């Protein structure tokens, strides 16, 4: 497993700003989680992503950092993983990297493609395939918004169940990364 990971910070270089466990990252010093456990989304671990695109895609449902910057970090080891993000006890800033730009349409396309893997409803699958093939009417747009919401829930549910198996979790992350990379390439 690579020890190179990715993290979003706010425009001033902080995470958990104003909360217990607030950290400033741009000083290059090694950071250590202040909690004793291994629970994600707490002060127990330092939150990271395995790929820069996952950090950007899931910002809105995880940290929801306004005006984020993206940094590369080196971690000690993975202590927690839920399929979408991971947690470590120690990490060190390496460098700031360019924040990938993912448009709303690309995010919706990603959400629809992910939902097709996990959502079984045939009526939905028919609509989703039509949307992916260019049917972007107002009615289709409203359905896309519902689909994006459903896909986020499906991704979270898949992540929760995949968290029980490291192999399933890694497979899901790979699928997510391959899917968004193909969308960004226009495939």
Give the phi and the psi of residue 24 in degrees, each rounded to 5.
Answer: -100, 125
Contact 101, 171 (CB under 8 A): no
* Structural element, H or E, at residue 91: strand 90-97
How far is the C-alpha of 177 from the C-alpha of 30, rounded, in Å? 28
Burial class (CB within 10 angstroms; exposed 0-12, middle 13-18, buried 19+) of 80: buried
The whole-chain average pLDDT of the chain stands at 82
3-state secondary structure 121-153: CHHHHHHHHHHHCCCCCHHHHHHHHHHHHHHHH
pLDDT tens digits for 110-141? 888 888 887 777 877 888 888 888 877 766 66
Q: Is 152's pLDDT higher than 70?
A: no
Closest-CA residue to 82 (of 140, 165, 2): 165
Structural domain range at position 177: 104-184
| 81 lies in the same domain as 8 | yes
How far is the C-alpha of 138 from the C-alpha of 156, rounded, in Å? 27
- Of the candidates 97, 122, 140, which is a domain's last residue? 97
- Of the candidates 55, 78, 97, which is a domain's last residue? 97
| 16 lies in the same domain as 81 | yes
| 10 lies in the same domain as 74 | yes
Predicted TM-score (pTM) of the model is: 0.76
| 68 lies in the same domain as 143 | no
| 70 lies in the same domain as 19 | yes
- CA within 13 Å, CB half, 154: 20
| 108 lies in the same domain as 164 | yes
Contact 120, 44 (CB under 8 A): no
How high is the pLDDT of residue 153?
64
How far is the C-alpha of 158 from the C-alpha of 84, rounded, in Å? 9
Number of domains in the chain: 2
| 54 lies in the same domain as 23 | yes
- Of the candidates 97, 119, 135, which is a domain's last residue? 97
| 73 lies in the same domain as 131 | no
pLDDT tens digits for 26-70? 998 999 998 888 888 888 899 999 999 999 988 877 788 889 999
């Amino acid at each position: 497993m690579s020890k190179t990971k990715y993290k979003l910070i706010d425009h001033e270089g902080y995470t958990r700003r104003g909360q217990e466990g607030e950290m400033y990252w741009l000083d290059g010093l090694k950071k250590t989680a202040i909690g004793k456990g291994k629970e994600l989304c707490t002060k127990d671990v330092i939150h990271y992503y395995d790929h820069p695109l996952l950090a950007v895609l899931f910002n809105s449902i995880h940290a929801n950092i306004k005006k984020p910057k993206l940094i590369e970090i080196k971690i000690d080891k993975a202590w927690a993983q839920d399929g979408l993000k991971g947690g470590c006890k120690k990490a060190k800033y390496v460098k700031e990297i360019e924040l990938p730009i993912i448009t709303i349409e690309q995010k919706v396309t990603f959400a629809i493609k992910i939902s097709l893997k996990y959502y079984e409803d045939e009526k939905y699958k028919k609509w989703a395939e039509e949307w992916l093939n260019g049917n972007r009417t107002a009615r289709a747009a409203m359905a896309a918004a519902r689909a994006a919401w459903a896909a986020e829930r499906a991704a979270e549910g898949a992540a929760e169940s995949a968290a029980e198996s490291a192999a399933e979790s890694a497979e899901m992350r790979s699928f997510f990364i391959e899917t968004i990379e193909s969308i960004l390439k226009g495939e």
